Amino acid sequence: MIHLNVWAEGSVEEKVQRLLKTWEMEIVHKADPNELKTMDPNKFTISVNGRKGLTPAESAKLGGSYNIFLQTSLPENVRLYNPDDETFESSQNLFRSIFLRGFAIEILHVYSGSPGIVYKFRHWGYMDAPFKGHAPTGQLIELFGIGTFELDKESNKIIKAEMFFDRGELLGGLVKGESNVASTCPFMK
């Protein structure tokens, strides 16, 4: 599956996809909460895979979007990516270098519309550079999940976002390339 869905202009799917893409751009690229157009920084929280909802300030302390989305309870010695060791800058540099052609996001299905939006998404790109000692494969890397947005009824801005996905879909694809470092997996030693 490589194509992007092109939804009819004005359809619920097109509106949700536009909102998702703009929101994703803002959380990845804008550090100043006052610059956010899609969400209310005073009310907004984000939670991933049922974890505690985080405010923009708490998200910033974790080092931004990749570190929020890739939080894990795995022991540190078996983590393919350790958000505790990454900063906003290091995580951005790492993932931008891996996905030189971009890491697109699209809506696959909208289950309910505003103000309680529920949707299925796909995030995808091609692995063009090494990841943590693993050679690039050039292969398509895909991540599928379910997301929700709760919109403020007056401002129509996002006040709550929830994402549910298997982070292993992304990280597993990034370690398929030949490794030039010893395995950190305790079962492979």
Report pTM: 0.87
Give CB contacts under 8 A, 24+ apart, made by 7-13.
7/107, 12/110, 12/113, 13/107, 13/109, 13/110
Domains of the chain: 12-174 (3.10.450.50)
Looking at residue 187, what is its pLDDT? 54
Summarize the confidence of residues 99-109 as an average pLDDT: 94
Spatial distance between the Cα atoms of 157 and 64, rounded to a whole number of angstroms: 20
- Which is it for strands 45-48 and 158-165: parallel, antiparallel or unpaired? parallel
Spatial distance between the Cα atoms of 178 and 189, rounded to a whole number of angstroms: 17
Residue type for position 35: E
Looking at residue 147, what is its pLDDT? 98
Tell whether the model's pLDDT for residue 92 goes beyond 70: yes
Looking at residue 5, what is its pLDDT? 77
Over pLDDT 70: what percentage of the chain?
93
**What single DSSP character describes residue 154?**
T
Give CB contacts under 8 A, 24+ apart, made by 134-140.
134/174, 134/175, 134/176, 134/177, 134/178, 134/179, 134/180, 135/177, 135/178, 135/179, 135/180, 136/98, 136/177, 137/176, 137/177, 139/173, 139/176, 140/2
Q: What is the DSSP string of 18-50?
A: HHHHHHHHHHHH---GGG-SSB-TTT-EEEETT
* Average per-residue pLDDT for the chain: 90
Phi, psi of 61 (to 5 degrees): -65, -30
Tell whether the model's pLDDT for residue 110 goes beyond 50: yes
pLDDT tens figures, 147-179: 999 999 999 999 999 999 999 999 999 999 998
pLDDT tens figures, 70-87: 999 999 999 999 999 999
Spatial distance between the Cα atoms of 27 and 122, rounded to a whole number of angstroms: 17
Confidence of residue 65 (pLDDT cuts 50, 70, 90): confident
Tell whether the model's pLDDT for residue 108 goes beyond 70: yes
Tell whether the model's pLDDT for residue 68 goes beyond 60: yes
> Do you find a cis peptide bond into 75, omega within 30 degrees of 0?
no
Confidence of residue 133 (pLDDT cuts 50, 70, 90): very high
C-alpha distance from residue 184 to each of 3, 57, 75 (Å)? 35, 33, 11
Edge-first strand listing for the sheet containing 45-48:
45-48, 158-165, 140-151, 116-126, 104-112
